[in-house]
């Protein structure tokens, strides 16, 4: 089986090559992202493997299908970047890695929140300059604050548990599916509007769907508690970044930790330190002292990369052997998770 692996970085190669020892697939690592232009590189391959910012829209899928590709394997959980209707029409099966290490993302989420709230990132750069002054570094306790967790699936449930049982926050949750284990520790499920209005801290863990796109928008930010802290390690487009900048300028929002950004494709995962970046929204966000940003890093642990590589190649092996595809994403699934 020949597999074209798009958008590969050193860590992808390392962990996929290790997991491939038991399969012996012919992996062709391609640095470039999957686009209509690069899709032809997959010609002659039966499967392609892609990540979060590779776009598999209809045009790309048509190019892949005409080159003989029959399987699209996402080495991530989210699949908002794939036109599932087009894939189904073109006879391309789509698989993903539904859960590789929710701990990796949930721990990073808490890390970002603590760093932002206690200004650890700012203290670190000060101390490196021998500036040991504490002025401007006053933070706030997590204990006793109201944290709203939107989406209590695998990752959100761990975050809600850490905030409630670990830090003693009052935790409000919003999810169409109630997790009874969270109820047992005192997490309260409320309407999303109530959560967005009453929370001191909002952490986003729902998938990106047409319904959740710009869930954090100008209206929500206006109605939110002044000083609101927002953490987003889910998908960038859950937040309207322009409205967020406006709310930051008005001091309505007290702090933001972002591991994802709506227009991150073509920017994140690359070293652009010598480039001029045209995205004024991203550049403005990076100027705020109370915005902490990382480049879609929450998943990046050894455990998660191992699990991603193993699950991806196991799905491809199932496809090659014509076995049922456990991790298949179909049109029914797009609304379900
Ligand atoms: P999951 O499917 O286990 O959980 C998602 C939860 O969101 C489900 O319980 C679902 O019922 C709920 N949900 C769906 N629509 C909702 C809505 N409108 N309002 C509130 N809740 C809603 O997914 P997960 O593994 O916990 O992942 C959550 C998200 O984190 C993924 O969608 C993915 O985009 C993102 N993610 C980011 C990284 C990263 O590196 N930053 C890594 C993995 C996953």
Nearest CA to ligand 1 atom 9: 153
268 CB near ligand 1 (under 6 Å): no
Pair 121, 241 in one domain = yes
- 206 Cα: distance to centroid of ligand 1 (angstroms): 4
For residues 69 and 196, state if they share a domain.
no
Write the CB contacts of 208 (distance below 8 Å, at least 6 apart in sequence): 78, 80, 234, 235, 237, 238
Placement of tokens 């045009």 in the chain: 59
CB 133 within 8 A of CB 111: no
What 8-state DSSP symbol labels residue 239? B
Eight-class DSSP state of 21: G
Q: Is 135 in the pocket of ligand 1 (CB under 6 A)?
A: no
- Asked whether residue 270 falls in the same domain as residue 321, the answer is no
Residue 74, beta-bridge partner list? 50
**pTM given for the model:** 0.92
Catalytic residue among 45, 164, 235, 262, which? Answer: 235
> Could you read off the pLDDT of 238-286 as tens digits, one per residue?
999 999 999 999 999 999 999 999 999 889 999 999 999 999 999 999 9
What are the structure tokens assigned to 5, written together?
Answer: 């692996």
The dihedrals phi and psi of 204, each to the nearest 5 degrees, come to: -100, 125
Q: Is 128 helix (H, G, I), strand (E, B) or coil?
A: helix
Is the domain of 79 the same as that of 125?
no
| Residues 167 and 311 occupy one common structural domain | no
Task: Clarify whether residues 122 and 216 are in a common domain.
Answer: yes
pLDDT tens for the chain, 337 residues long, are 999 999 999 999 999 999 999 999 999 999 999 999 999 999 999 999 999 889 999 999 999 999 999 999 999 988 989 999 999 999 999 999 998 899 999 999 999 999 999 999 999 999 999 999 999 999 999 999 999 999 999 999 999 999 999 999 999 999 999 999 999 999 999 999 999 999 999 999 999 999 999 999 999 999 999 999 999 999 999 999 999 999 999 999 999 999 999 999 889 999 999 999 999 999 999 999 999 999 999 999 999 999 999 999 999 999 999 999 999 998 764 432 2
Substitution site in 12, 204, 207 for ligand 1 pocket (most atoms within 8 Å of beta carbon) = 207
- Looking at the fold, whether 34 and 61 belong to one and the same domain comes out as yes
Q: Is the CB of 211 under 6 A from ligand 1?
A: yes
**121 given a catalytic annotation:** no
For residue 36, the domain's CATH number is: 3.40.50.720
The reported pLDDT for the residue numbered 112 is: 98
- pLDDT the model gives residue 332: 62
Task: Report how far Cα 54 is from the mean position of its chain's Cα atoms.
Answer: 14
How confident is the prediction for the chain on average, in pLDDT? 96
Q: Compute the half-sphere exposure of residue 1: CA atoms within 13 Å on the CB side of its CA.
A: 23
Residues 282 and 143 in one domain: yes
Q: Are residues 95 and 129 part of one domain?
A: no
Pocket lining: 174 vs ligand 1, CB cutoff 6 Å: yes
* Shortest-distance atom of ligand 1 to CA 150: 20
Distance (Å) from CA 208 to ligand 1 centroid: 8
Task: Identify the pLDDT of residue 53.
Answer: 86
296 is annotated as an active-site residue: yes
Contacts (Cβ under 8 Å, ≥6 apart) of 272: none
Do 107 and 240 lie in one domain? The reply is: yes
The yes-or-no answer on residue 103 being catalytic is no
Residue nearest to atom 12 of ligand 1 (CA): 151
Are 41 and 143 part of one and the same domain? no
**Residue having the nearest C-alpha atom to atom 32 of ligand 1:** 207
Count CB-CB contacts under 10 A for residue 283: 11
The answer on 91 and 225 residing in a single domain is: no
Total of domains in the chain: 2
Range of 315's domain?
Answer: 2-100+301-334
Determine the distance separating the centroid of ligand 1 and the alpha carbon of 315, expressed in angstroms: 21
Going from the C-alpha of 77 to that of each of 15, 102, 107, the distances in angstroms are 17, 10, 17
C-alpha 319/C-alpha 86 separation (Å) is 19
């Amino acid at each position: 089986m020949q597999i074209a692996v798009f958008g590969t970085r050193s860590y992808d190669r390392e962990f996929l090559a290790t997991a491939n020892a038991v399969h012996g697939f012919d992996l062709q690592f391609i640095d470039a992202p999957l686009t209509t232009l690069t899709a032809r590189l997959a010609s002659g391959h039966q499967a392609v493997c892609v990540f979060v910012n590779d776009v598999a829209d209809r045009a790309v899928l048509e190019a892949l299908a005409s080159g003989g590709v029959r399987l699209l394997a996402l080495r991530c959980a989210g699949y908002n970047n794939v036109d599932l209707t087009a894939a189904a029409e073109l006879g391309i099966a789509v698989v993903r890695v539904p859960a590789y290490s929710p701990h990796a993302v949930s721990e990073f989420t808490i890390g970002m929140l603590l760093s932002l709230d206690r200004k650890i990132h700012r203290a670190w750069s000060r101390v490196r300059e021998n500036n040991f002054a504490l002025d401007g570094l006053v933070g706030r306790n997590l204990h006793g604050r109201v944290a709203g967790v939107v989406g209590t699936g695998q990752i959100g449930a761990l975050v809600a548990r850490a905030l409630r049982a670990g830090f003693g926050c009052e935790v409000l949750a919003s999810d169409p599916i109630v997790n009874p284990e969270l109820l047992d520790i005192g997490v309260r499920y409320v309407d999303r509007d109530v959560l967005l209005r009453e929370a001191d801290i909002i952490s986003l863990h729902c998938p990106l769907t047409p319904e959740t796109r710009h869930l954090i928008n100008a209206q929500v930010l206006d109605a939110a508690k002044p000083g609101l802290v927002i953490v987003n390690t889910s998908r960038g487009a859950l937040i309207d970044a322009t409205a967020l900048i406006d709310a930051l300028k008005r001091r309505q929002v007290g702090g933001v930790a972002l591991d994802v950004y709506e227009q991150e494709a073509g920017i994140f995962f690359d070293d652009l330190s010598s480039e001029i970046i045209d995205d004024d929204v991203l550049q403005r966000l990076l100027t705020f002292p109370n915005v902490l940003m990382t480049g879609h890093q929450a998943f990046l642990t050894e455990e998660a990369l191992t699990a991603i590589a193993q699950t991806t190649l196991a799905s491809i092996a199932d496809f090659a052997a014509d076995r049922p595809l456990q991790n298949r994403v179909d049109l029914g699934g797009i609304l379900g998770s």
